[in-house]
Amino acid sequence: MKLSQSTVLLSVALCASGVKAFSPRPYPVSTAAQKLQRYTPIKADVEAIEDDEDFPDIDSPPADDYIVNVGDLEGEDEEGVGEEDDGELPAWALSQQRMKDLREKYRRHDKDTGSPEFQVAGMTERIAYLTKHLQTHPKDYSTRRGLVALVNKRRRLLNYLFKEDVERYKALVASLGVRHKAPGNVESREEKYSRFPKQKATKKHLVKK
């Protein structure tokens, strides 16, 4: 294939100018779009900002109201720790105090931590606190499960105390106001079913003579 002289000269001139002869033409962009794409920095009036009194000064230190030194917190009185806005202790703190007083009242000696009286006294206060909590939050099922387990454990301790010493059991139940049914002896088969009428008459040939 022979090319004309004018075509060869045109290709050489385009290569010399850095333009590819066979590259596609770029998409034409309008002059208005080119002006919009240019970056135009916004000029701020520095003098007006410096004169404005409401603008915060970065170099100046913060106000004294926001500064808290380490030594300021160490000397504060700790009596108000855990108190509510009205100055009263929360319900859980009052319950802990009552539990401590009951345990000191019903323990056998100063180092007693495992007697039935000591344990039942603490459980009774804990049961009263959880019952009041469930009245406010009836859908707290995990607390309800723990309350049932605590009541069952207290019942077993009272059963044990009844078998060991009836007088101590009666004094503890009367003092704490616990509703508890004392365990009875296991009934025999005749005692258990004697209150029910007999269903069938005894046959004559089975009666012992």
Q: Is-contact 159 172, C-beta < 8 A?
A: no
Higher confidence at residue 54 or residue 174?
174
Residues 6+ apart with CB under 8 A from 83: 89, 90
Nearest to 126 by CA among 160, 161, 102, 157: 102
* Residue 173 binned pLDDT confidence (cut-offs 50, 70, 90): very high
Check whether 189 has a pLDDT greater than 60: yes
Average pLDDT over residues 75-94: 68
* Residue 190 binned pLDDT confidence (cut-offs 50, 70, 90): confident
Question: Both tokens of residue 4?
Answer: 């004309």
Check whether 21 has a pLDDT greater than 70: no
Residue 145 sits at the vertex; the CA angle it makes with 139 and 150, to the nearest 5 degrees, is: 130
Torsion of CA 70, 72, 78, 80, to 10 degrees: -120
Residues 6+ apart with CB under 8 A from 94: none
Question: Both tokens of residue 69?
Answer: 């030194």
Q: Is-contact 199 144, C-beta < 8 A?
A: no
Check whether 65 has a pLDDT greater than 80: no
Q: What is the pLDDT of residue 36?
A: 66
Round to whole Å and give the CA distance between 179 and 209. 50
Residue 81 sits at the vertex; the CA angle it makes with 76 and 86, to the nearest 5 degrees, is: 115
Q: What is the pLDDT of residue 123?
A: 93
Q: What is the pLDDT of residue 47?
A: 63
Region for 182 from its dihedrals, namely left if φ exceeds 0, alpha if ψ lies in -120 to 50, beta otherwise = beta
Q: What pLDDT, in 10s, does the model give residues 105-159? A: 989 998 988 899 999 999 999 999 999 999 999 999 999 999 999 999 999 999 9
Per DSSP, the residues of 134-160 read: HHH-TT-HHHHHHHHHHHHHHHHHHHH
Q: What is the pLDDT of residue 80?
A: 55
